[in-house]
Amino acid sequence: MNIASVIVDVPAKQTDRAFDYKIPAQLRGVILPGMRVVVPFGPRKIQGFVTGLKEESDFQQLKSISEPIDLNPVLNRELLTLGDWLTEKTLCYKISAFQAMLPAALKAKYEKKLVLAENAERKLLPEKVRSLFQNTEEITWEDAVKGGSLPLLQKEASNGNIEIIYQVKERVKKKKVKQLFAAAAPNKLADYIQKLPGNATKQKDVLEYFLHEEGPADQKELFSMLGITTSTIKGLMQKGLLGQREVEIYRNPFGDREFEKTEPLSLTDAQRAVIIPILNSIEDNMHETFLLYGVTGSGKTEVYLQSIQRVLQDGKEAIVLVPEISLTPQMVKRFKGRFGDQVAVMHSGLSAGEKYDEWRKIQRKEVKVVVGARSAVFAPFENLGIIIIDEEHETSYKQEENPRYHARDVAIERAVNHRCPVVLGSATPSLESFARAQKGVYHLLTLAKRMNNQALPAVDIIDMREELREGNRSMFSRALLDKIKDRLEKKEQIVLFLNKRGHSSFVMCRDCGYVINCPHCDISLTYHRYNQQMKCHYCGYEAHVPNACPECQSEHIRYFGTGTQKVEEELAKILPEAKVIRMDVDTTSRKGAHEKLLDQFQEGHASILLGTQMIAKGLDFPNITLVGVLSADTMLHLPDFRSSEKTFQLLTQVSGRAGRHELEGEVIIQTYTPEHYSIELAGDQDYDKFYEREMMVRKIHRYPPFYYISLVTVSHEELMKAVSVTEKITQYIQSKLSAESIVLGPVASPIPRINNRYRYQCLIKYKREPELGPSLKKILDNYQQDIATGGLSVSIDLNPYILM
């Protein structure tokens, strides 16, 4: 096999196929599918992925691969195939699909080193390799290439004796710790102890330690254990009794926290009933997609854990996806507690280096379970036994940039390849998934009751218009305020929830009604109290609040709406004695802040937790007995056919935070539209009825799950250009589709301008259109030139979740 097919790193139509390259003699056997290589391309040298090897090419005069980038494939065969699938499903370029599967550290600029594995036996290495590593544990990539030893090194790499490390400049630094070890034989140490003067107790302690303990010790730990400092060991090192070295440790995203080991609970009858079909699927090695529909607290996580346990017994691996915001320490604890070091955790809060570390643990088969957000669905396991997606209805499972994939689709595709089950879990399944379960495409499993049959909390819906009529202008209804006071007295805890999405705190002139908009986007600026700034959430534009109205010069210019900051101020006024912790993007932007605030709340440092979406999930504190939703409607009025579904889901989630333990819980939902079915039915916690109502609405308006939708968004700095391109695209699509399909457009996008670019769109609703994908791809290809030069942007989403 001396020819490699390579997908080069040039995202364009003409290069979206494999190019053949000769494998130079010294690299034969080294280059494998799934490795990245450097290849000459035109006048340049660029990166590419090897997708296959072959004996012959249809092309004459092939150029040669310049050098490999990896020693081991970074993509296995399954992931290479998955890349093709992703390309077809999301209309992205192959190179983008491959890159989406790798951690960022592998994509950035890096330095490469070859490192001798810690447990490698030098004696057993081939002569040539041994000499390369003669006086060192690591050599540079350049040295490795120069010596012509790559094939040998590659063999050792696949034996696990050598590792190739990508060092992203500045950003990724391997974390190292100092270790101490005995550098002399035990009898020498013992001799020396005898000779030490009586007052040298500390030195004695150290030597005694190494007499009794085999292996190296962490210097810091030893220092604190024995109460010694560097001066104690300095002399011992000079005498050759102790040695010191630096070793790399994985950065630990959850600190040095010890996770208490947990044992499997004995399952309830209901849990047993739902786990049996899952275990059958695992044992029979048959793919099946399950929808585990169970209210919060019904014991779903325990079912996940025991299913994974079965998978591990078979020597297979598991992927668990959880939404980014519920990837909290509490969540991680449940998996690490059960499976310990076999668990890797991947989420966006990790630095590039930390993510890379976790990925390497998977690559090196050091872990068997990964718990992570969306992109963890690409974890390079080779022997998958189950994929679990918790809170499957969460829209964060959809990636909103290229490749625009949904993790659920990827999970199912991988599970089909591995012949293993997918478990989708939720208390409020997405309409799409529940409909599939109803039709028998997914296997529906239901956990109807909470553990210990705890009642769901009582929910009160308060009509805020009524409050206003009765003269209450505050953002707290009388009922809510009374209950807050009651809980404060009883020293119980309260969660106040504010959905900040939408125009929550804009700046408006009270005299003329002028609202301050972003100068670059057609959307109002959001007021931030802490620095008196107004900010555009779309383009990042910031400005000071003006002293006078730009329109009428009135000085009565104020901010409106109820952002979390404003609620906090209000609380301070009416309940000065109450301690409040606020959680929103502003207070949690620093790394670890999220976790710290939650810990503080759990430890009882505050009685009220006030926050946005991010507090809606995962919180499970025994002392929370009241949950207040300040305004349930903010999301209802977004121009999105899923707004009712999202409102229902969110309200149900939030309500689930109350009374999960012995103390009974209560929920108050404040709203201006109490009659809306999504609010009313969230109050009743009646998913089944909501599903029925919402399905009717979707059917009438021809939305998913009855129809598929695809969205084409065009943007350009010139309005006319955006309109005319959208018109042409719409016409073209129309001509390609059957009469049954509906094309809506061209129309201005709900946000008609972002960052000085005008936005137009066309929405396609269809049931079956096998030609749609290829037609849309043609459109992209056709406008490629305009897109490449940056003037025009055409984005196509085959399953949009954001319709703005």
Query: Which residue ranges are tagged as binding site?
Result: 509, 512, 518, 521, 536, 539, 549, 552
Q: Report d(CA 318, CA 691) in Å as an integer.
A: 31
Q: Which does 301 bind (CB under 5 to 8 A by kind): Zn ion, ligand ADP, none?
A: ligand ADP
Q: Which are the contacts of 588, defined by CB distance < 8 A and separation ≥ 6? A: 594, 597, 614
Provide the pairing of β-strand 757-766 with 708-716: antiparallel
Furthest C-alpha separation in the chain: 98
For 210, the 3-state DSSP assignment is helix
* Residue 541 contact among Zn ion, ligand ADP, none, beta carbon within 5 to 8 Å by kind: Zn ion
User: Which of the listed partners (Zn ion, ligand ADP, none) does 570 bind, with a CB threshold of 5 to 8 Å by partner kind?
Assistant: none
Kind of pairing, strands 138-140 and 110-116? antiparallel
Q: Write down the least CB distance from residue 757 to Zn ion, Å.
A: 11
Joined tokens for residue 200: 């040298």
Q: Please, which residue, 294 or 745, has the CB nearer to ligand ADP?
A: 294
249 is a site residue for Zn ion (CB under 5 A): no
Q: Which is nearer to ligand ADP, 23 or 387 (CB)?
A: 387
Q: How far is the CB of 173 from ligand ADP (least distance, A)?
A: 37
Known binding residues for Zn(2+)? 509, 512, 518, 521, 536, 539, 549, 552
Are 295 and 346 spatial neighbours (Cβ–Cβ below 8 Å)? no
DSSP type of residue 515: B
> Could you tell me the smallest distance in angstroms from the CB atom of residue 555 to Zn ion?
9
Partner from ligand ADP, Zn ion, none binding residue 19, C-beta < 5-8 Å depending on class: none
SS3 305: helix
One-letter amino acid for residue 20 of the chain: D
Instruction: Give whichever of 61 and 266 is closer to ligand ADP, judged by the CB atom.
Output: 266
Q: What residue 294 binds from ligand ADP, Zn ion, none (CB within 5 to 8 A, per partner kind)? A: ligand ADP
431 with 95: CB under 8 angstroms? no
**Is residue 512 a contact residue for Zn ion (CB under 5 A)?**
yes
CB 551 within 8 A of CB 569: no
Q: Are strands 19-22 and 36-41 parallel, antiparallel or unpaired?
A: unpaired
| 509 near Zn ion, judged by CB under 5 A | yes
Least CB distance to ligand ADP at residue 443 (A): 18
Partner from ligand ADP, Zn ion, none binding residue 271, C-beta < 5-8 Å depending on class: ligand ADP
Distance between CA atoms of residues 678 and 312, nearest Å: 41
String of contacts with Zn ion for each residue 144-183, x by CB under 5 A = ----------------------------------------
DSSP per residue, 516-575: PBPSSSSSBPEEEGGGTEEE-TTT--EEEPPSS-TTT--S-EEE-S--HHHHHHHHHHH-
Q: How far is the CB of 375 from Zn ion (least distance, A)?
A: 28
248 bridge partner residues:
176
Residue 496, SS3?
strand
Using CB under 5 A as the binding rule, the residues of this chain from 534 to 563 that contact Zn ion are 536, 538-539, 541, 549, 551-552, 554
**Positions that interact with ligand ADP (CB under 6 A):** 265-268, 271, 294, 296-302, 451
> Quick one: residue 735, left, alpha or beta (phi over 0 = left, psi -120 to 50 = alpha)?
alpha
Looking at 508, 521, 632, 772, which residue binds Zn ion (CB under 5 A)?
Answer: 521
Q: What are the φ and ψ backbone dihedral angles of 431, each rounded to 5 degrees?
A: -60, -40
Amino acid, single-letter form, for residue 309: Q
Query: Which does residue 267 touch among Zn ion, ligand ADP, none (CB within 5 to 8 A, set by kind)?
Result: ligand ADP
Q: Residue 716 binds what, of ligand ADP, Zn ion, none (CB under 5 to 8 Å, by partner type)? A: none
Q: Which lies closer to ligand ADP via its Cβ, residue 453 or residue 735?
A: 453
Give the nearer residue to ligand ADP in terms of CB position, either 338 or 406.
338
Least spacing, CB of residue 301 vs ligand ADP, in Å = 3
Question: Could you list the residues that contact Zn ion (CB under 5 A)?
Answer: 509, 511-512, 514, 518, 520-521, 536, 538-539, 541, 549, 551-552, 554
